[in-house]
Amino acid sequence: MKTSRIFALAMMAAAGGSVAALAKAPIAAPAPVDPAYMWDLSDLYPSPEAWTAERDRVKAEMDGFSKYKGTLGKSAKDLLAALSAMSDARRAIQRLSAYSGLKADEDVRVAANQERNQLAAALGTQFGVETAWVTPEILAIGGDKIHQFEAAEPDLARRFGFYLDNILRSAPHTLSAESEGVLAAAGNVLAQPDAIYSAFANGEAPFPTVTLSDGKKVVIDQGSYARYRQAANRADRKKVFDAFWGMWKKYEATLGATLTTQVMGEVFDAKVRHFPNSLAAAVFADNMPEAVYRQLVAQANEGLPTMYRYLKLRKKLLGIKGDLAYYDIYPSMFELKKPLHFTVADAERIALDVTAAYGPEYVADLKKGFSGRWMDVLPRTGKAGGAYMQGSAYDVHPYLHLNHNYDYYSLSTFVHEWGHAVHTLLTHDNQPFELSDYSTFTAETASITNEMLLSDYMVAHAQTDAEKLYYLGELLELMRGTFFRQTMFAEFQLALHEEVEAGRAISGARMSEIYCGLLKKYHGDAEGVMKIDPAYCTEWEFIPHFYYGFYVWQYATSMAGAASFADAIEHEGKPAQHRFINLLKAGGSDYPYNLYKKAGLDMATPAPYQALLARMNKTMDEIDAIEGRMGH
């Protein structure tokens, strides 16, 4: 799964906790970098000193927010002035955070850059504390008077109408100004389970060493696990799994305690804000019906025969005799004699070809991005891993952090992250800053639709049947990993919260028991499709997303939405193209469920999920046909 980080204020406090260990690392001279493959952060600030000066200015400005207390209900102009000042500060903080995060990831060994990132996180926390009184004061003014102010001051309605509507509907869940201030100040404390997990998983875990069948000794840490779990030699895969998950098992109780604390914090927040449960609290910000979450889980369960079909196909193609095992799920089902190789120039050319399906406006934005130095493209020593798009500097442009390795996964990641970047450009060009913060619920659809179209493009342009099979296999794995796996995670998270809400105790051992039941259900253990070894049921310990609240489910809904959009764009043409582009342009101007409905999808109904399952089955039909044609 690819990771996209759009730094929002809500995540700033969490960001600070994971860098303390890194800040102690010795400074190393950065490796020389070809500027053509490196971003230019001077578009944000000309120097670190300029960043510091701006940070000091914003901090001083926030210290003066108290002067607005008690003024919001005086007049429409007073309300607009106060909200504008706070919006300007938030806009500046997001730009500061963008720079500090990007600079920190250039070389994680440079202490000064990590410390700057902590200062940005602290600034975000301060913003929350200094503005905690705003919501209670607006609620005290009342909806009738707020609507009168909006009618009298068009700019207030245009820029802040959606924000004010959100506050007014939050009345049953908003506490006194004092209580809101306490909860805001507690943000850093409530972020500590993630910080503890990150410190252990990324810095202190004693990862095991294994000797592979070729005699090579390998430390199986998080990076090498992702590589060697795909080993062609089945005995090597088992050895990697046994060693890796055996290490995590030793910390089942400790990591169970950290995750329990995370869940308890979320349940606590839901209770004090008078939500019926933590799921309702989690979806409230997006005004998302709980029915969407529950429909996703229901449809994934209904679609398990498709998942089982995929697993049986995998077993057949890998030539496995006897039981299919969990360690058989990662190696590619199709190997090419000559490895695929995609340069950065190839990735740009293919991305332009693929996204031509969206029309000239989208392509023009993509070309604009390619012409600037918006990307840090290639891996190097000290650079942070992974890939993400950083789009929170509204007045500048998106930045992309990539680690391009010239393979197909890198190409897919490239078009995925540029999907986020163009979404950001379209939003910023069509919405004021206050309406530019789009939901993850729509964000991932913007990028995953690109991946769907890329897969279809690569299959259509494949030179041989072997290449077609490879691309079809990669698409299957994308759908398996993003829809079924993420929904399994979502079901696990829901189960943990419901256990705590019912007053039952949870522990690491209980989490492994719950997770094991889900692993067996999703992989057909009882049906004889795959045998799940209980030794691997500690996998939940390895998933950092469980510390992000109810988050991962949106990858799965986005996959379903992307399947529907890709099919519609390919078959309908311009009408579907316009619906999709309008969704991207809308940004955060409406609730994401409503935006989807305007684009023709009701995510609370079975239809989008069934479209995804249909695409998955169609892909397997194509594989079967090609295999039959090749006489396999």
| CATH number for the domain that contains residue 524 | 1.10.1370.20
Given phi > 0 = left and psi -120 to 50 = alpha, else beta, which region is 408?
Answer: alpha
Residue 49 belongs to a domain: yes
Which residue bears the tokens 């891996």? 379
Q: Which of 218-227, 493-502, 615-624 has the lowest mean pLDDT?
A: 218-227
Same domain, yes or no: 157 and 73:
yes
Same domain, yes or no: 187 and 263:
no
Same domain, yes or no: 183 and 271:
no
Instruction: Supply the pLDDT for residue 223.
Output: 79
Same domain, yes or no: 442 and 530:
yes
Q: What are phi and psi of 217, to 5 degrees?
A: -95, 130
Active centre residues (catalytic): 417
CA distance linking residue 622 with residue 616, whole number of Å: 10
Instruction: Supply the pLDDT for residue 32.
Output: 61
CA distance linking residue 399 with residue 396, whole number of Å: 9
Residue 381 belongs to a domain: no
* Range with top average pLDDT, 167-181, 329-343, 420-434: 420-434
pLDDT band at 630 (very low <50, low <70, confident <90, very high): confident
pLDDT tens string 59-68: 999 999 999 9
- Identify which of 332, 23, 379 has the alpha carbon closest to the alpha carbon of residue 203: 23
CA distance linking residue 344 with residue 173, whole number of Å: 49
Instruction: Supply the pLDDT for residue 609.
Output: 96
Tell me which of 17 and 94 has the higher pLDDT. Answer: 94
Same domain, yes or no: 590 and 452:
yes
Same domain, yes or no: 455 and 531:
yes
Residue 107 DSSP SS3: coil
Residue 471 belongs to a domain: yes
CB 350 within 8 Å of CB 264: no
Residue 240 belongs to a domain: no
Instruction: Supply the pLDDT for residue 54.
Output: 98
Same domain, yes or no: 187 and 330:
no
Count the domains in the chain: 2
Same domain, yes or no: 622 and 488:
yes
pLDDT band at 203 (very low <50, low <70, confident <90, very high): confident
Instruction: Supply the pLDDT for residue 359.
Output: 95
Instruction: Supply the pLDDT for residue 20.
Output: 26
Instruction: Supply the pLDDT for residue 392.
Output: 95
Q: What is the DSSP letter of 463?
A: S
Residue 619 belongs to what domain range? 253-335+433-632
Residue 21 has pLDDT above 60, yes or no: no
CA distance linking residue 369 with residue 421, whole number of Å: 8
Q: Tell me the average pLDDT across 267-294.
A: 94
Residue 553 has pLDDT above 80, yes or no: yes
pLDDT tens string 294-307: 999 999 999 999 99
- Identify which of 101, 162, 124 has the alpha carbon closest to the alpha carbon of residue 12: 124
Contacts (Cβ under 8 Å, ≥6 apart) of 26: 109
Same domain, yes or no: 154 and 30:
yes
Task: Name residue 276's amino acid.
Answer: P
Residue 536 belongs to a domain: yes
Tell me which of 132 and 51 has the higher pLDDT. Answer: 51
Same domain, yes or no: 460 and 576:
yes
Instruction: Supply the pLDDT for residue 108.
Output: 85
Token code pair at residue 424: 């950001």
Same domain, yes or no: 259 and 177:
no
Residue 62 belongs to a domain: yes
Q: Residue 65 belongs to a domain with what CATH number?
A: 1.20.140.70
CB 71 within 8 Å of CB 133: no
CB 489 within 8 Å of CB 543: yes
Same domain, yes or no: 165 and 47:
yes
